[in-house]
Amino acid sequence: MTCSLLARATTASSRACFHSQPFQSQSNGFATFRGKRAGIFIPRVCSRKYESTATASAVTPSVALQENIANAPAPTGVPAGNLPLDRPSWESIKQMISYPTLRAIIENPYQFKTMTPVQAEVAQLLPGLALPPESTSNDVSTCPRDLLVKAKTGTGKTFAFLIPAIEARVNAIHAWGKQAVRDAGLVSDKHLEAQARRQFTREHVGTLIISPTRELATQIANTAIKLTHHHKDFEVRLFYGGSSKRMQMRDFMKGRRDIVVATPGRLRDLLQSEPEVAKGISKCKMVIFDEADMLLDMGFRDDIDAIMSYLPPKSERQTFLFSATLSRTVRQVAQTVLAQGHKFIDVVPESESPVHAHVPQYHTVLPTPSQQIPHLLRLLAHDQLTNSGKSKVLLFLPTTRMTQLFATLTRELSKAVLPAGAHTKVYEIHSKRTQDSRIAASDAFRADNSGASILVSSDVSARGVDYPGVTRVIQLGIPAATEQYIHRVGRTGRQGSTVGRGDLVLLPWEIGFLSWQLNEVPLKPVTSDELARQVQDLAAHYDADPQAVFKGVPIKLHDARGRPMRGGPRMYDAPLSPRLSSEEINNSIAALLKHIDEEAIKETFASLLGYYIPKSPELRIQKGNILAGCRSWATEACGLPTPPYVSDGFLQRMGLNDGRTKHFGKSYRDPRSSARPVNSWETRGKQNKRSFENPRGNFRRDEQLDDNDPSGNVDEYRGARYGRERPEPRKEWGRDNDRSGGVDEYRGARYGREKPKREWAHPSDPSGDTEEYRGSRHGRENRPHREWSRDGPHRENSSRGFSNR
């Protein structure tokens, strides 16, 4: 039955269409999982109603580790513990891992024979690395539990951490079932043991793998599914943003939780909103951080700290941290999440470049921005001519808007310029596309066998994602960091492949990044004129003998029934030399730029400003030079008639100012004067008070004050200093019955007149008049004080009593 289903799945795989599920497609009523390599599909019989989006089932019975070893064939090859240093075989660790895992590696679906260095280093720690901590085996006491691994990209790091994770889960399930039987006071009870195992797998998360991007998380989940193909009922769950949270939670609740692969943002969201996820993660015994340096570079440090708060303490879990580089931030995180006695594995010697040495790398500094698009087209044509029938190019750009623009340019210009012409397949991946379309484009490029394919991508495909057969990586503009350049180049020449090349294309003002940030990378210079001559020579060679260029390339234009083939490499239409001439390339570019929306170019220009201006310290140039360079790019490379307008507010937000004010270069201005041109004396004496008629309390020069306004008018306080006599003040203040008197009442001899005698409103006031308290100090004799007594209202007493002064 299983064999017949496998045959049906293989036959129908070519007709299977891509659905929105993370890593599967449906055909003939059952699911077929899209694997890491093209053409490999793993069938799973299941109900359509409850089909899981991230589940791997197997076709062999489940057995414990010891039973697997007993039933496996006799071990051959190198004994355990004596692994050779150069490329040990997988069969040499047959006694260290379970037979279903080994079968998936050496037979179906992978058929691998030897290990990579990082896989060999981790395999030496098995089986002790995968045994439960409470095991009595000597391997547990001597083997470290936590790992910090530094390895290049494309060296098999995914296998290095997935194999211990799978083996640890198998051993934990087996140990839990045995412990349940012992707790029941029994020696053996298969029914109770199976029930305990089933409950354990549905409540406890086995391994949590945290990945920085959706694409890398999907790839890890696919690899885990294929690697557990022969383990019965082994399931993988996938949590990432951009897809239905309800569907992900449905699969998580109804199935097993052997391996959970997640991105930090979605996982933190689920931990805070779904108690069942937090409960399962709290019992997780193994945590793996893949591409740890990228996790930190993308700003996931806070998310990582929040996730770690839900996990068991370091003493109760295992933690693996894999990274291509070990920056200071990575070491800080390692000290936080790893146990004190963790093991450090470094398969990148200090004397060796972090980039693959066998991948030739070139850089080009263009003399003018107008040569950027022609140089890019020549690089693509050069790859199609040097890798005829198998060209596969990854084009990286710094921003999303630029990725959208150049995807359109490449798609349209390839029809008229490139050797493959209209048969060139151009794919596009960036953050503006939906998750379903990104998965579809990634899978289509991975499985493309047309011999002339291009993937235009932002940094979502820069790290970890495996695209087999990539022949060239082109980077247009500077990467975000030196590590990003390393990971981009690592998309080609993977798994020891000798086919691959890297090209870095820079504008004149970007040369600082090459001099200061990539000084340790083995980059060779190539000029635009030199590349143009190479392309012309290759085109002339193809025109002379096309069959010699495609020698050894299987070309099938029709299938067995005589129908035209849609896929597969095709020979180029000769002659190519006229099509690849400089004049023809420039004419094609000029004709296309006339139809490009200017707003799209302006939006790309704004995105470049936002990307490059913060990088002025890395480029070692001023921000003003970056602005001028981006403006010249918009006019010379993209054909805008005038440079895009940039507002002063935008430049200030970008930090593009030198501290000059708006008065710089103008004539001298009195700093005491106000903004509006008025006389300096006009507002003197004005009281900043509010009234009911004018709550704001300010007046214009031609505005008259209210007659009842107690503040008076302007001329009231103007004196001889301004060339005129002081006018007579107003006699009355405010209302007629105001008891405060007039202004002259309080003007004394100091102002040229005698101070008037003050009169009280009530003559019967016992305090007396004002003259009663004026003494010799003011020019007259003291008068006796009045004293209140019990006998009468008051009497004179100059010596003692209570004075009313």
pLDDT: is 332 or 666 the higher one?
332
> Average pLDDT, stretch 186-207?
92
Residue 359 in contact with residue 502, Cβ under 8 Å? yes
Q: Which residues have CB under 8 Å from 762's CB, separation 6+?
A: none
Give the pairing type, strands 259-262 and 207-210. parallel
pLDDT at res. 8: 35
What confidence score (pLDDT) does residue 454 get?
96
Which residue has better confidence, 2 or 491? Answer: 491
Q: Tokens standing for 457?
A: 């991508």
d(CA 244, CA 99): 36
Structure confidence at residue 471 (pLDDT)? 93
Interval 172-195 mean pLDDT: 92
Q: Kindly indicate the confidence band of residue 571, based on its pLDDT and cuts at 50, 70 and 90.
A: confident
Q: What is the pLDDT of residue 742?
A: 53
Q: Is the pLDDT of residue 275 over 70?
A: yes
Confidence bin at 308 (pLDDT 50/70/90)? very high
Q: Which range in 20-24, 110-114, 502-506, 772-776 is most confidently predicted, on average pLDDT?
A: 502-506
pLDDT given for residue 356 in this prediction = 58
Query: Angle CA(436)–CA(30)–CA(216) in degrees, nearest 5?
Result: 35
The model's confidence at residue 519, banded by pLDDT at 50, 70 and 90, is: confident
Does the structure show a pLDDT above 50 at 42?
no
Q: What is the mean pLDDT of residues 330-347?
A: 90
Token pair belonging to 640: 């805008």
Element (H, E) at 321: strand 318-323
Kindly give, in sequence order, each residue whose CB lies less than 8 Å from that of residue 402, ignoring residues fewer than 6 positions away: 476, 477, 604, 607, 608
Please give the pLDDT value at position 135: 64
Q: Could you tell me the end-to-end alpha-carbon distance of the chain, in angstroms, rounded to an integer?
A: 121
Question: What is the distance between the alpha carbons of residues 279 and 621, in angstroms, rounded to a whole number?
Answer: 52
Of the listed ranges 57-61, 462-466, 620-624, the one predicted with least confidence:
57-61
Instruction: Return the domain boundaries, the chain.
Output: 2-44, 99-346, 361-551+572-593, 598-653, 756-805
| Contact by Cβ (8 Å): 512, 621 | yes
Cα 235 to its chain centre, rounded Å, is 29
- Pick the more confident residue, 320 or 549: 320
What are the CB-based long-range contacts (under 8 Å, 24+) for 619-628? Answer: 619/478, 619/509, 619/510, 619/512, 619/513, 620/512, 620/515, 620/516, 621/509, 621/512, 623/654, 623/655, 623/656, 624/656, 625/509, 626/509, 627/651, 627/656, 628/509
Average pLDDT over residues 311-337: 90
- Comparing 455 with 77, the larger pLDDT belongs to 455
Prior bond of 522 cis (ω within 30°): no
Beta strands in 177-280 (DSSP E): 207-210, 236-239, 259-262
> Is the separation of the CB atoms in 127 and 111 below 8 Å?
no
Rounded to an integer, the average pLDDT of 689-694 is 49
Alpha-carbon separation of residue 781 from 777, 778, 803 (angstroms): 8, 9, 17
The mean-pLDDT minimum among 57-71, 414-428, 630-644 falls in: 57-71
pLDDT band for position 796 (cuts 50, 70, 90): very low
pLDDT band at 480 (very low <50, low <70, confident <90, very high): confident
CA-CA distance, 247 to 259, in Å (whole number)? Answer: 17
User: Element (H or E) spanning 139, and its range?
Assistant: helix 138-142
Asked whether the CA dihedral 223, 400, 522, 468 is positive or negative, the reply is positive
Cα separation of 680 and 683, whole Å? 7
Q: Highest mean pLDDT range out of 584-588, 656-660, 665-669? A: 584-588
Same fold, 99-346 and 361-551+572-593: yes
- What is the SS3 string spanning 450-493? CCEEEEEECHHHCCCCCCCCCCEEEEECCCCCHHHHHHHHCCCC
Q: How many CB atoms lie within 10 A of CB 453?
A: 26
Pair of tokens at residue 410: 């490449």
Is the link from the previous residue into 117 a cis peptide, with omega within 30 of 0? no
Q: What pLDDT band is residue 298 in, cutting at 50, 70 and 90? A: confident
Residue 658 pLDDT: 59
More confident residue, 667 or 519: 519
In this predicted model, what pLDDT tens digit does every residue of 662-675 receive, in sequence order?
666 666 555 555 55
Note the pLDDT of residue 767.
54
Higher pLDDT, 112 or 671: 112
Gyration radius of the chain's alpha carbons = 42
Bigger pLDDT: 151 or 453?
Answer: 453
Rounded mean pLDDT, 195-224: 93
What local confidence, expressed as pLDDT, does residue 6 receive? 34
Strands (E), 508-562: 524-525
Q: What is the pLDDT of residue 256?
A: 94
User: What does the pLDDT read at residue 215?
Assistant: 86
Whether residue 127 is preceded by a cis peptide bond, meaning omega within 30 degrees of 0, is yes
Whole-number pLDDT of residue 712: 54
* Three-class secondary structure of residue 386 per DSSP: helix
Which CA distances in Å does 186 have to 63, 196, 352? 20, 14, 58
Indicate whether 498 pLDDT > 70.
no
- Tell me how far the alpha carbon of residue 102 is from its chain's centroid: 36
The tokens 């210079």 sit on which residue?
Answer: 525
pLDDT of 692 over the 80 cut: no
Mean pLDDT of 268-287: 94
Q: pLDDT tens digits for 613-635?
A: 999 988 999 998 999 999 999 99
Per-residue pLDDT at 222? 93
- Greater confidence, 5 or 454? 454
Give me the phi and psi of 492, to 5 degrees please: -115, 160
Residues above pLDDT 70, as percent of the chain: 66
What's the pLDDT at 570? 84
Q: CA 411, CA 194: separation in Å to the nearest integer? A: 57
Return the top range by mean pLDDT from 43-47, 86-90, 413-417, 706-710.
Answer: 413-417
**Bridge partner residues of 149 (DSSP):** 322, 345
Q: Which of 254, 244, 158 is CA-nearest to residue 209? A: 158
Query: DSSP code of 566?
Result: S
The matching CATH number, chosen from 1.10.238.10, 3.50.50.60, 3.40.50.300, 3.90.550.10, for 99-346 is 3.40.50.300
635 DSSP 8-state letter: I
Instruction: Give the start-end residues of each E strand in 482-596.
Output: 502-506, 524-525
Q: How many CB atoms lie within 10 A of CB 660?
A: 8
- Residue 504 and residue 524: Cα distance in Å, rounded? 10
pLDDT at 643 exceeding the cut of 70? yes
Per-residue pLDDT at 639? 93
Phi/psi zone of residue 344: left (φ > 0), alpha (ψ -120 to 50 degrees), beta?
beta
The H-assigned helical ranges of 582-658 are 582-593, 598-612, 616-619, 623-632, 648-653
**Residue 81 buriedness (CB in 10 A; 0-12 / 13-18 / 19+):** exposed
| Predicted confidence (pLDDT) at residue 146 exceeds the cutoff of 50 | yes
CATH architecture of the domain with range 361-551+572-593: 3-Layer(aba) Sandwich (3.40)
Reported as a pLDDT band with limits 50, 70 and 90, residue 576 is very high
Query: Is residue 2 scored above 50 in pLDDT?
Result: no
Give the up-direction half-sphere exposure of residue 483: CA atoms within 13 A in the CB hemisphere.
18
| Structure-token match 């790859």, residue found | 383
Write down the pTM of the prediction: 0.61
Strand order across the 361-365 sheet: 425-429, 452-457, 391-396, 472-476, 502-506, 361-365, 524-525
Alpha-carbon gap, residue 358 to 355, rounded angstroms: 9
**Rounded to whole angstroms, how far apart are CA atoms 721 and 220?**
88
Count, in order, helices (H) and strands (E) of the chain: 26, 19
Please give the DSSP secondary-structure letter assigned to residue 738: -
Q: Can you give the pLDDT at residue 242?
A: 82
Average pLDDT for 164-170: 95
Taking only the tens place, the pLDDT of each residue in 361-380 is 999 999 999 999 999 999 99
pLDDT of residue 500: 87
Hey, what are 184's tokens?
């029941």
- Segment 296-321 mean pLDDT: 91
Please state, rounded to an integer, the average pLDDT across all residues of the chain: 77
- Identify the residue whose tokens are 């083939």: 565
Percent of the chain with pLDDT strictly greater than 90: 45
Tokens for 631, please give them. 């403006």
pLDDT digits (tens, 9 = 90+) for 700-739: 555 555 555 555 555 555 555 555 555 565 555 545 555 5
Least reliable range by pLDDT among 45-54, 77-86, 218-227: 45-54
pLDDT over 60 (residue 775)? no
